Amino acid sequence: MLFDTHAHLEDEMFDEDRDQLIRELPEKGVAYVVNVGSTLEASRMSVELATQYPFIYAAVGIHPHEVAQMNREALDAIEAMAKRDKVVAVGEVGLDYYYDFSPRELQKEWFDWQIDLAYNMRLPIIIHDRDAHADVLDILKAKKDKILGGVMHCYSGSWEMAKYFMDLGLYISLGGPVTFKNAKRPVEIAQKVPLDRLVIETDSPYLAPTPYRGRRNNPAYVRLVAEKIAEIRGMALEEIANITLDNAKKLFKIK
Ligand code: NI
């Protein structure tokens, strides 16, 4: 059985078949999904999905893309949601310098605030880092006493950098890109990451693994990510599945 640590099943791309698709996940080998917030509304819907389905858990938070649209009251709303049942993390939070949809200074402020929020709620953080590795690391290092675990979601940085993130107690999550034909960095990470630091994800509906690249992703495809990592490491799929499931349960404190 597999644990998809990062999906956005509230996305409108699932509007037509969401319930059926989710109900079929257990028979496709998916035991757990963390549905991750990006806006206030998406965070609310994450909590809603976690209420509705026993194997879905929720993360609540504001994505760096969205922070320019937010006021401080949004932070209070996230805090209130973080207290709800089955909310296991604050996320996704972080920095995105690839798209720069929000001013960088504002992204940093919100990242900082949401780390504090997670600390106050005693929750781990789900970190989005795109082309901002050095600044993400700087902020995390400066706040390391306030980090109660977390994960580098769909990690795309170097192995050198990954070691610093792991030193801060963070897990490294690999997704669809590790299966892509030209993948280099994620493959190196898959080879080198200590097995007790590795978790897997889909980031559905985005980043579908090969052979579904470019199409809608869904949590059942997390199996293709696990298969690729198993192949890279010369291990059995079941081993990678079991190890990453146990790690994710520890990360999100799921009994
Ligand atoms: Ni995401």
How much distance in Å is there from the Cα of 33 to the middle of ligand 1? 13
How much distance in Å is there from the Cα of 167 to the middle of ligand 1? 23
How much distance in Å is there from the Cα of 174 to the middle of ligand 1? 12
Please give the single-letter amino acid code of residue 117: L
Q: What is the mean pLDDT of residues 144-163?
A: 96
Q: Tell me the C-alpha distance between 34 and 222, whole Å.
A: 12
For 58, phi and psi rounded to 5 degrees? -120, 150
Q: Tell me the C-alpha distance between 22 and 38, whole Å.
A: 20
Q: What is the mean pLDDT of residues 188-201?
A: 98
- Distance from chain centroid for Cα 32: 13
Cα–Cα distances in Å, from 79 out to 57, 87, 100? 16, 11, 25
How much distance in Å is there from the Cα of 6 to the middle of ligand 1? 6
Give me the pLDDT at residue 8, please. 98
Q: Tell me the C-alpha distance between 103 and 246, whole Å.
A: 38
How much distance in Å is there from the Cα of 59 to the middle of ligand 1? 11
Q: Tell me the C-alpha distance between 219 and 24, whole Å.
A: 10
How much distance in Å is there from the Cα of 38 to the middle of ligand 1? 7
Give me the pLDDT at residue 28, please. 98
pLDDT digits (tens, 9 = 90+) for 4-45: 999 999 999 999 999 999 999 999 999 999 999 999 999 999
How much distance in Å is there from the Cα of 140 to the middle of ligand 1? 19
How much distance in Å is there from the Cα of 128 to the middle of ligand 1? 7
Structure tokens at 243: 């190890």
Structure tokens at 174: 């690999």
How much distance in Å is there from the Cα of 233 to the middle of ligand 1? 26
How much distance in Å is there from the Cα of 7 to the middle of ligand 1? 6
Please provide the average confidence, as pLDDT, over all residues in the chain: 97
pLDDT digits (tens, 9 = 90+) for 215-241: 999 999 999 999 999 999 999 999 999
Q: Tell me the C-alpha distance between 153 and 189, whole Å.
A: 13
The total number of residues written for the chain in this structure: 255
Q: Rounded to the nearest 10 degrees, what angle do helices 133-142 and 104-121 cross at?
A: 40
Give me the pLDDT at residue 72, please. 87
Give me the pLDDT at residue 115, please. 98
The percentage of residues in the chain with a pLDDT greater than 70, rounded to a whole number, is: 100
The percentage of residues in the chain with a pLDDT greater than 90, rounded to a whole number, is: 97
